[in-house]
Amino acid sequence: MEAIEINKFWEQVIAQFRDFYRYTDSAHRIDHIQSVKSNAIRIAYLLGETKHLKNILVAVAAHDIFSTKADRASHHIKAFNYVLDSAPILKRRFKLTCDDVTEIAYAVLEHRSSHKGGYNSIVSEIVAAADRGIPSIDEVKNYMHRSYLYARDHGKSVIDSKFHAIRHVQEKFGRNGKSRVPEWYEKLFAKEILERQEYVEMLGLEHFTSEITNDLESRIQNQ
């Protein structure tokens, strides 16, 4: 797929799922989906797997549709079932086969960092990796801010949300991080991962300046 084709197809796909993201928690709104989409396209090109972009993009658009306060723990399972149940619509609208829909559904199911076991396909691997993010300091900041918003959405105070966000990124991206990624991820981004680890280990409350905190709080107020 060429860039113009990718953009056109993405607009069609996101139109199918956009309304879901009006009801997801603050950390999983449409801006997160757009970020994962950009990551997924870049990773697909780096791996030479662009032939899978159609399925990757549909999976990206669908992977967090049920990431609400009530369904966060099971959102991947609900989205998996939704994709399978919507097979006739998805096949017709996006010219997919039955195998494509199954591949997309499993990519949705397997995207979480807590996923155990192997991945169903390279589509699952790329979607999971894109959801983790392409390692960079900016990506860590973005992830930490999303974690802060998530904590605030779930009733934590401002100070507790800051501690929650810092602890969360250190548990995921620190030297002893437990965030599940495909095997090739650490080789593909070895230099970036090391730089990210060094930054994460030094994180403290001073990151959350008044300007950053006010901006995050304004996002909550404007939901």
User: 3-state secondary structure string, 135-181?
Assistant: CCHHHHHHHHHHHHHHHHHCCCCHHHHHHHHHHHHHHHHCCCCCCCC
Tens digit of each residue's pLDDT (9 = 90 or more) over 59-70: 999 999 999 988
Tens digit of each residue's pLDDT (9 = 90 or more) over 103-146: 999 999 999 988 888 999 999 999 999 998 999 999 899 989 99
Does the pLDDT value for residue 223 go beyond 70? Answer: no
Domains in the chain: ranges and CATH: 3-132 (1.10.3210.10), 137-221 (no CATH)
pLDDT of residue 26: 83
Q: What is the pTM of this model?
A: 0.85
